[in-house]
Chains A and B, each alone.
Chain A
């Protein structure tokens, strides 16, 4: 009896201790960042190795599944390539012309982001937090809050940097909200993860849209640059459906993300972005 009560007391003390510790460390994450830094240096090569093996194996399985389509696709792609070659030449010409015209107007070229390529070496093993680990750290010039993108659109931002790796908070994580615009109508709003919609787990919700805002299915949602974390103009996703919010005062839209968060393998860190544009927007707002 005495032994049992002593054990209950010990477990209660441990619970209280770790509860308190989680509050303290959750608020002051940077305090043990150096410890994590050291650990990450040790485990990063192993993580990288397992990622490579996993990526290749899953690619092999994927290839086997899709082999039937490959021949047909190959034929189609050859035809497409011939058309693209022609288009490429035209685009090149237009790009040059665009550059000249922009120069004349005195604006800086809009897509002048300096990008640093990185590989995804790990994902959060639990399903409560939406983060990934990439193989570039402060030794490569990565800093906290830098935006992370793929060729398709915005992925998230760096929230922890160690020497050779960084952790990225994905757009789908509920700990964030991104200021966004409907590219066509330029209505400012906020993008967050969808709530109370079990059939749309991988979607984002754009809320705080004015009732007069013009939103259509298929509209492109881009980052607005407000808030200072994400540069302006990065594609977030496409409007799936729009309607009034639960109070009927504002509009909200369900957004299909441009990036496939289940298949992130290579990403780019936005090292530098056109700052003037954000300044202009801030002043304008």
Chain B
């Protein structure tokens, strides 16, 4: 039965991931200065991983990162790996944290943002994406992590409650 639920959830998540990416790249970009636009997709994936566990996080991270790579990435695999490993790590960390309070997921998202960006940094360095951009991007890391922490505060309870009410597994 659980497997069938998952089969319904994952196409829904792919659609959601694409919609978030489109929203983030178009609507949201008009309200933030270049390089400071928050990664809504990362926040959503980490929130799911936080209450869904590391395995679910790994799969959702893989799907979300793959969508981002296909639509915006310069090569397939950069965001896939970054989001997948970040979500997996979040799931592992969340084992030890109380899920009903916002402080745990908010701080986790804050710290995992650094991990996510370091993986991308590492991937681009390997792949040869150019170094000046990296130093600029790393400078915007802290403001980005803070914006992620702040955005997790409204997003996490929304997803957590929806998850508890079986919104993502309706049948």
Contact = CB atoms under 8 A, between A and B. Distances in A.
B24 A125 contact: yes
A43 interface: yes
B84 interface: yes
Question: Looking at A11, A23, A51, A122, which has the most chain B CB atoms within 10 Å of its CB?
Answer: A122
Interface residues of B, number: 54
Interface stretch (B25-33, B94-102, B148-156, B163-171): B25-33
A174 interface: yes
Interface string A48-85: 10110111011001000000000000000000000000
Nearest to A46: B22
A125 B129 contact: no
Contacts of A122: 22, 25-26, 29
Interface stretch (A13-21, A99-107, A181-189, A245-253): A13-21
B34 A123 contact: yes
A195 interface: yes
Contacts of A61: 31
Contact of B25 (A15, A22, A23, A125): A125
Main secondary structure, interface of A, reads helix
Interface residues of A, number: 55
Contacts of B34: 123, 127, 130, 202, 261-262
A126 B26 contact: no
Interface stretch (A29-37, A214-222, A267-275): A29-37
A201 B127 contact: no
B133 A23 contact: no
Given A54-B30, A198-B139, A125 B72 contact: yes
Contact of B39 (A25, A47, A123, A126): A126
B7 interface: no
A50 B136 CA distance: 28
A97 interface: no
Contacts, number: 151
A11 B24 CA distance: 29
Nearest to B124: A128
A125 B127 contact: no
B27 A125 contact: no
Contact of A174 (B27, B71, B132): B132
A24 B129 CA distance: 14
A29 B136 contact: no
B121 to A, nearest CB: 8
Contacts of B27: 50-51, 53-54
B43 to A, nearest CB: 12
B35 interface: yes
Question: Looking at A48, A126, A192, A194, which has the most chain B CB atoms within 10 Å of its CB?
Answer: A126
Contacts of B133: 128-130, 173-175, 193
B123 interface: yes
A175 B111 CA distance: 29
A157 interface: no
Contacts of A126: 39, 68, 72, 79, 120
B158 interface: no
A46 B25 contact: no
Contacts of B26: 47-48, 50-51, 54, 121-123
B80 interface: yes
The 3 closest A-B pairs by CB, nearest first: A22-B77, A26-B75, A174-B130
Interface of B: 18-19, 21-31, 33-37, 39, 41, 58, 62, 68, 70-72, 74-81, 84-85, 88, 120, 123-124, 126-127, 129-137, 139-140, 144
22 contacts: A14-B62, A18-B84, A20-B77, A27-B75, A29-B75, A36-B70, A46-B22, A57-B30, A57-B31, A58-B31, A121-B26, A124-B25, A125-B29, A125-B37, A126-B120, A127-B35, A127-B137, A127-B140, A128-B129, A128-B134, A129-B129, A173-B130
Given A19-B126, A193-B136, 16 more contacts: A14-B84, A15-B81, A22-B75, A22-B77, A35-B70, A50-B27, A51-B30, A124-B72, A127-B35, A127-B137, A129-B74, A129-B133, A174-B129, A175-B130, A195-B131, A262-B34
